[in-house]
Amino acid sequence: MSDTLQLAATSLAAQSATTEHRPLIITLFAAFVVATLFITIWAGRQTRSAADFYAGGRQFTGFQNGLAISGDYMSAASFLGIAGAIALFGYDGFLYSIGFLVAWLVALLLVAEPLRNSGRFTMGDVLAYRMRQRPVRTAAGTSTIVVSIFYLLAQMAGAGVLVSLLLGITHDGGKVLIVALVGVLMILYVTIGGMKGTTWVQMVKAVLLIAGTLLITFLVLLKFNFNISDLLGTAAEKSGHGAAFLEPGLKYGATGTSKLDFISLGIALVLGTAGLPHILIRFYTVPTSQAARKSVNWAIGIIGGFYLMTIALGFGAAAIVGSTEIVESNKAGNTAAPLLALHIGGTDSAGGAILLAVISAVAFATILAVVAGLTLASSSSFAHDIYANVIRRGQATEKEEVRAARWATVAIGVVSIGLGALARDLNVAGLVALAFAVAASANLPTILYSLFWKRFTTQGALWSIYGGLTSSVVLVLFSPVVSGKPTSMFKGMDFYWFPLENPGIVSIPLGFLLGWLGSLLGKEEPDKGKYAELEVKSLTGTGAH
Amino acid sequence: MATDAAPPPHGEPGHDPAHPTTEEFIEVQESAEFGELRHSYRSFAFPLTVAFIAWYLLYVLLSNYAGDFMGTKVYGNINVALVFGLAQFATTFLIAWLYARHAAARLDPKAEAIKTRMESRTEAGG
């Protein structure tokens, strides 16, 4: 998301629009913060047991959780990133949305209900169910924390740059201050409000995001008399690419390698979603597996509708703002949506100023809600999987566990403020794709084997988690994401040998293969009784929490 | 035998799940009734998963290697690529709806019957 945001030294500020509108934007930011803190404190008063803290008391309805899932999932990367990618690369920007949406079918058909029925608080509950607790919990906790931290870091570093851009702050101190502010707020949301508070924050954010997007989409379509072909034609013409703008290939079609990279990315997006820990723990917030199913269906409807609107947003920005102005403001196109808001409301009118402020506030709300969800997922896993089941060997009381989760939240918050501040000038956009790749390579194979394959063993689980995790991280480390290219995280260095930016095409099959081999090659017999329990529970909900 | 940690305490207020024994779970798992539930679930979910992943990969491959075909205009500025993309949205919504319908009609009643019986047996037995 922060994709070369920092290169935008000219930025929105240069257009004087932002500095002028700063008071209004800050007022809306503050209103969101005050409202969500109020919700958090209210939710905190009702958070007593571990089930309250980890799973929001399991009292949310399918619709509420569907909204919250959408809030958790639609990060600033999808809101600003996809709109920007469509505005600059036309059709290829749209390819992202499709992978992000289709992925939900994996969650719906294979993961959500069995997980809800057989787990309690974390992904580790299901992965370790049939296995030796301590090694598998350690592995599940490690993978949860790694995926969440990568994702979190990308959001945090992006937040500093993005919010500075929207507010027209150009000095370093301001960016660090914003990263710190985001970090402190997310610590407050999670430690005080737990899952209940976080879920409400996600819902509020989802409603704001959908409302803001609907409004801009409506205004764009109105401008073209609801003639989509006209909108596309104008966008293609103003992009300077002509008809090619509406066809695949502008971004990924350059070489054989970039095409392969696109396949790799596509697979990681589709298979990664159902292995993202911060998404998985949302299924525990509803009372039954039917409600879990309903929440995924709501999420598919909301997220699908949102991605359809990004078409209007992206092509609208290309047609109305024009690529020259978008690139001038931010090379990666991340400000395309706010700029569109400004233009469509009228650059010199109060309408434009208000729309810009609203969309900026929505982007800020989006960042805050997503980082809170990620922090909760990693601190839950630390407290429940690693502290309670590995360190204390299942002897910790609920009170001790929740206390550990709160301290873990503070620790993770402080670490990510530090890393986010340090990484503010690095291009960390690749980290989100890496999080999806790790989730698809390490988590998804283990989840599916655990639920559906009776011969799966502890050794198989460890091989697939650690194998998928290590291979995806190592491949990215030696890919152009980290070094060797002008867009790399460390521009001055060059130690890459893996040609693709996304490791999925290698690491995902490897994760599946290792889980299978590890189970067959070990001497260990799978635990038949435990598998009977898990299978019957997961399909019927018998004895579900 | 495969756990070296005690199961976590089940202390959620207002909600105390029943705990059938492992033997009961094995018995149910091997029963014809559960076999039917498993079959109704797997024979629906697994082929459909393979199908939508194949359909999505086809779309990715066409975008990559069949640019001319994807660029064919269908109506005004709307081309095959856009229609294909929107078709992915449509099939996703369709599959979600089909699964919800299948689950409500074919899975939920069977699952509920097994669950009710197992949990009442546990309560009656102790």
Render pLDDT for A255-290 as a digit per residue (tens, 0 to 9): 889 999 999 999 999 999 999 999 999 999 999 999
pLDDT at A429: 66
Whether residue A394 and residue B8 make contact (CB cut-off 8 A), yes or no, is yes
- Cβ neighbours, 10 Å, residue A535: 21
Backbone CA torsion sign across A505, A509, A511, A514: negative
Residue B6, pLDDT > 70, answer no
pLDDT at B13: 46
- A442 close to A475: Cβ distance less than 8 angstroms: no
d(CA B100, CA B118): 25
Whether residue B96 and residue A388 make contact (CB cut-off 8 A), yes or no, is no
pLDDT at A165: 74
Residue A16, pLDDT > 70, answer no
How near does any CA of chain A get to the CA of B97, in Å? 8
pLDDT at A505: 96
Rounded percentage of chain A residues whose pLDDT exceeds 90: 69
Residue B116, pLDDT > 70, answer yes
Nearest-CB residue to B2 (from A259, A452, A527): A527
Residues 6+ apart with CB under 8 A from B125: none
Nearest-CB residue to B34 (from A109, A388, A536): A536
How near does any CA of chain B get to the CA of A316, in Å? 14
**Chain B residues closer than 8 Å to A539 by CB:** 34, 37-38, 41, 107, 111
pLDDT at A4: 40
Whether residue B67 and residue A230 make contact (CB cut-off 8 A), yes or no, is no
d(CA B104, CA B106): 6
Residue A218, pLDDT > 70, answer yes
| Residue bearing the bigger pLDDT, A254 or A340 | A340
Nearest-CB residue to B67 (from A253, A267, A532): A253
Average pLDDT over residues A328-351: 86
Rounded percentage of chain A residues whose pLDDT exceeds 70: 96
Interface of A with B in 282-341 (CB under 8 A): 289-290, 293-294, 296-297, 300-301, 304, 307-308
pLDDT at B122: 63
Residue B24, pLDDT > 70, answer yes
Using 50, 70 and 90 to split pLDDT, how confident is the model at A406? Answer: very high
A432-459 pLDDT per residue, tens? 888 999 999 999 999 999 999 999 999 9
How near does any CA of chain A get to the CA of B31, in Å? 11
- CB neighbour burial string for A390-425, b if at least 16 within 10 angstroms, e if fewer: beeebebebeebbebbbebbeebbeebbebbbebbb
Residue A203, pLDDT > 60, answer yes
B32-65 pLDDT per residue, tens? 999 999 999 999 999 999 999 999 999 999 999 9
Residues 6+ apart with CB under 8 A from A4: A330, A331, A332, A427, A487
Whether residue A458 and residue B92 make contact (CB cut-off 8 A), yes or no, is no
pLDDT at B11: 43
pLDDT at B44: 97
Residues 6+ apart with CB under 8 A from A104: A273, A296, A299, A300, A303, B92, B96
Nearest-CB residue to A308 (from B2, B61, B89): B89
pLDDT at A2: 41
Using 50, 70 and 90 to split pLDDT, how confident is the model at B14? Answer: very low
d(CA A321, CA A305): 23
A317-328 pLDDT per residue, tens? 999 999 889 888
Whether residue A246 and residue B81 make contact (CB cut-off 8 A), yes or no, is yes
pLDDT at A341: 92
Best residue of A52, A58, A105 to probe chain B, by most B CBs closer than 10 Å? A105
Whether residue A232 and residue B77 make contact (CB cut-off 8 A), yes or no, is yes
Whether residue A247 and residue B111 make contact (CB cut-off 8 A), yes or no, is no
Whether residue B10 and residue A545 make contact (CB cut-off 8 A), yes or no, is yes
How near does any CA of chain B get to the CA of A469, in Å? 23
Closest CA to A495 of A479, A507, A512: A479
Using 50, 70 and 90 to split pLDDT, how confident is the model at B96? Answer: very high
A168-181 pLDDT per residue, tens? 787 888 888 888 99
Burial (CB count within 10 angstroms: exposed 0-12, middle 13-18, buried 19+), residue B9 = middle
Closest CA to A516 of A442, A461, A440: A461
**Chain B residues closer than 8 Å to A394 by CB:** 5-8
Residue A7, pLDDT > 50, answer no
Nearest-CB residue to A539 (from B6, B17, B41): B41
A238-262 pLDDT per residue, tens? 998 999 999 998 888 888 899 999 9
Average pLDDT over residues A67-73: 95
Q: Which two tokens stand for residue A531?
A: 């598998």
Query: In order of start, what are the domains of chain A with their CATH numbers?
Result: 5-429 (1.20.1730.10)
Identify the bridge partners of residue A490 per DSSP, sorted by sequence position: A483
pLDDT at B12: 47
* Closest chain A residue to the Cα of B102, Cα to Cα: A109
> Which of A12-21, A378-387, B18-27 has the highest average model confidence (pLDDT)?
A378-387
Whether residue A109 and residue B45 make contact (CB cut-off 8 A), yes or no, is yes
Average pLDDT over residues A149-175: 81
- A515 close to A449: Cβ distance less than 8 angstroms: yes
A159 three-class SS? helix
Summary mean pLDDT of chain A:
90
Residue B15, pLDDT > 50, answer no
Average pLDDT over residues A487-511: 90
Half-sphere exposure of A196 (CA within 13 A, CB side): 22
Lowest mean pLDDT among A61-65, A107-111, B19-23: B19-23
- Cβ neighbours, 10 Å, residue B75: 10
A90 three-class SS? coil
Whether residue B8 and residue A389 make contact (CB cut-off 8 A), yes or no, is yes
d(CA A491, CA B121): 66
A26-40 pLDDT per residue, tens? 898 899 999 999 999
How near does any CA of chain A get to the CA of B125, in Å? 15
A86-133 pLDDT per residue, tens? 999 999 988 888 999 999 999 999 999 999 999 999 999 999 999 999
Residues 6+ apart with CB under 8 A from A332: A3, A4, A5, A81, A84, A88, A429
Nearest-CB residue to A529 (from B26, B67, B76): B26
How near does any CA of chain B get to the CA of A283, in Å? 16
d(CA A228, CA A312): 9
